[in-house]
Amino acid sequence: MGEIDVPEIKFAVHMNRIETSASAMMSQRAREMKAEGVDVIPLSSGQPDFPTPGHIIEAANAAALRGETKYTTISGSVELKDAVIEKFKRENGLDYSRDEIIIGNGSKQVIYNAIVAGTGKGDEVILPAPFYVAYIDMIKFVGGVPVPVACGLDQDFKITPEQLDAAITPRTKWLLLNSPNNPTGVVYEAEELKLIAEVLLRHEHVSVIMDDIYEHITFDGVKFATITNVEPALRDRTVIANGVSKAYAMTGWRVGFGAAPAGMVKQMTKLQSLVTSGASSVGQAAAIAALNGPKNFIRERAKSFEARRDLVVSMINQTTGLSCQVPKGAFYVYPSCANLIGKTTPEGKVIQNDRDFVSYLLETENVATVHGDAYGVSPHFRISYASSTEELLEACTRIQRACAALK
Ligand SMILES: Cc1ncc(COP(=O)(O)O)c(C=O)c1O
């Protein structure tokens, strides 16, 4: 029998606008190296190393046994929406009704829904840089225009009201703000948000997406706030994205939630009906138990992240050529490697940029981190310290050794 010539599937050109995220690629590479027997320390992944608490798993199990294994309402089960409404009231002092809440497959889907539903071709989205890698591709995918605003270490990686004002044009659709921030760990405090809100009040055509996913991981007594806390007048043009992934160590359950004006929630739901038909029923049952259940462990875990932050910041700041500010939240540090650019490795390779530096760490000392270029501000790199103290100690010792070997 002759071979049948099957033509390869041609990909649509819009696929060229997006890439797999740098952190996912780095984590994938670290897993492959581990499978090959390499003693790799992955500091590239954006998830807590803690397990999901037992009472949440039990609630999911019970829900499945009760038969809660069918599709829920596309925008989320009524019970979970009510738990989310209570959460916003209790923890944030914000009031929402059921038609202003949407449940998605992670906060990522909520953000994606909002971007797709609200961003037309050529619409601009202001992104304080460094930013979470996924945003930029979501915006590009729908034909929107990302407008990164460089916020370097000299301004604590935060956008100033003046920068925001200058970045706004008649085509600006969104400001996308993430606090506590991935990758820098900086937190916008209420007074800072108030100044940003004042700019937004002057530009009625600009809406806001607040990515509050790290809400519960703050340090040094810093208090989380979201923009509608400081300026309730922005409520009707704000989408809040949040979820259970980070606070409750539930990244794999894929449940997030959003609050937005009812009309926006309707459009986001329409999109979601097309793509996923909603979040998993069992995952939603787990999220109800999380939001309505005990909270002590959240503070305890944040304390543990704080101790690990102190360890990593201190060791990085004792490393030749590296320097790092002290983040107030999330579980990342974003050190500068500017003083190492132009140095030569023992193999004779010149470190030209943060990509080279991160590859050097991986190849010579088997420590996986993510290059700052992916987050929009170089030369930096991101370390996720959601790993055990022993692993962090060993990883930082290896980083110190690698940096000391550069000439
Ligand atoms: C800033 C930020 N937003 C959103 C997400 C998505 O989280 P999830 O979809 O698990 O809720 C992440 C995950 O790493 C993140 O770092």
Whole-model pTM: value is 0.96
For residue 2, the model assigns a pLDDT of 52
Q: Ligand 1 pocket, 76 CB below 6 A?
A: no
Tell me whether domains 13-51+297-404 and 55-292 share a fold.
no
* Share in percent of the chain as helix, strand, coil (round to 5): 45, 15, 40
Q: Using the mean position of ligand 1's atoms as its centre, give its distance from the Cα of residue 274 in Å.
A: 22
Residue type, 362: L
Q: Ligand 1 pocket, 185 CB below 6 A?
A: no
Atom number in ligand 1 closest to CA 178: 1
Q: Ligand 1 pocket, 132 CB below 6 A?
A: yes
Q: Using the mean position of ligand 1's atoms as its centre, give its distance from the Cα of residue 379 in Å.
A: 23
Q: Ligand 1 pocket, 243 CB below 6 A?
A: yes
Contact 115, 139 (CB under 8 A): yes
Neighbours of 326 (CB within 10 A): 14
Contact 279, 102 (CB under 8 A): no
Q: Ligand 1 pocket, 213 CB below 6 A?
A: yes
Atom number in ligand 1 closest to CA 111: 4
Six-digit token string for 110:
């909520």
Task: Please name the residue ranges forming H helices in 219-294.
Answer: 227-230, 262-275, 281-292
Six-digit token string for 203:
């530009």
**Statement: residue 126 has pLDDT above 60:** yes
Does the domain at 55-292 match CATH 3.40.50.2020? Answer given as no
The b-or-e profile of 77-115 (16+ CB within 10 A means b, else e) is bebbbebbbebbeeebebebeeebbbbbbbbbbbbbbbb
For residue 188, the model assigns a pLDDT of 98
Residue located nearest, by CA, to atom 4 of ligand 1: 108
**Statement: residue 400 has pLDDT above 60:** yes
Q: Per-residue pLDDT tens for 224-266?
A: 999 999 999 999 999 999 999 999 999 999 999 999 999 999 9
User: What is the spatial distance between Cα 258 and Cα 265, in angstroms, rounded to a whole number?
Assistant: 8
Six-digit token string for 204:
């009625």
Q: Per-residue pLDDT tens for 280-308?
A: 999 999 999 999 999 999 999 999 999 99
Domain boundaries, the chain: 13-51+297-404, 55-292
Q: Per-residue pLDDT tens for 354-391?
A: 999 999 999 999 999 999 999 999 999 999 999 999 99
User: What is the spatial distance between Cα 242 and Cα 49, in angstroms, rounded to a whole number?
Assistant: 19
Contact 332, 384 (CB under 8 A): yes
Distance between the two ends of the chain, CA-based, in angstroms? Answer: 62
Q: Using the mean position of ligand 1's atoms as its centre, give its distance from the Cα of residue 255 in Å.
A: 11
What are the C-alpha distances in Å from 255 to residues 111, 242, 289?
A: 13, 9, 12
For residue 27, the model assigns a pLDDT of 86
Work out the pLDDT band at 3, boundaries 50, 70, 90.
low
For residue 367, the model assigns a pLDDT of 97
Q: What is the mean pLDDT of residues 2-6?
A: 65
Q: Ligand 1 pocket, 212 CB below 6 A?
A: no
Six-digit token string for 161:
């009201």
| Topology (CATH) of 13-51+297-404 | Aspartate Aminotransferase, domain 1 (3.90.1150)
Work out the pLDDT band at 25, boundaries 50, 70, 90.
confident
Q: Ligand 1 pocket, 106 CB below 6 A?
A: yes
For residue 21, the model assigns a pLDDT of 84
